[in-house]
Amino acid sequence: MPNAHDRVTIAGTLYHQIAGQNPTSVSLRCTTHLLTDEQVYSRSPSKGIGPKWELLKFGWIENPSVLIVKNEEEVDRKKDPEEWRESIIWIELDSDPNELVDSSKEVVAILPPTLYIPPGMISILYPAGPLCIASGGSESVRYSLTALPE
């Protein structure tokens, strides 16, 4: 009999609708087994991030296998494109995180950051190392974070 392991299943549906037409959809579903029985780390949107890079922290989880980051801001891109741009969350995957954080550079000084999450959107990441996070200019962009153990 195989060993029982904790597992993660991600399931959902993505819809796209053109005005006046029926929506099209794509089903999203994947499952993976975890190597440990560590608890999931979840951070609700309390404080926000600003435009200076900071190391993304995962609580007690040292090497997360899956990260879910949600930009909790609600900004209408068509009504206020400048506020929408400033409310983007940027995540840098390729730079040395200690050098980036120590430099005190704002996000606009690094072109281009590797990944961005628009207001109201979610990103699922499978990190291979440390990550840095910053806003697109706003002083306090709220986000939530869920980190799953290996």
- pLDDT tens-digit series, residues 63-86: 899 999 999 999 888 889 999 989
Domain positions in the chain are 36-148
Q: How confident is the model at residue 2 (pLDDT cuts 50, 70, 90)?
A: very low
Q: What is the pTM of this model?
A: 0.82
Q: Rounded to whole angstroms, how far apart are CA atoms 112 and 21?
A: 35
Sign of the CA dihedral running 131, 135, 139, 142: negative
Q: Rounded to whole angstroms, how far apart are CA atoms 80 and 106?
A: 22
> What CA dihedral angle connects 124, 126, 132 and 138, to 10 degrees?
-10
Cis peptide before 23 (omega within 30 of 0): no
Identify the architecture of domain 36-148 in CATH.
Sandwich (2.60)
Q: Which amino acid is at 66?
A: V
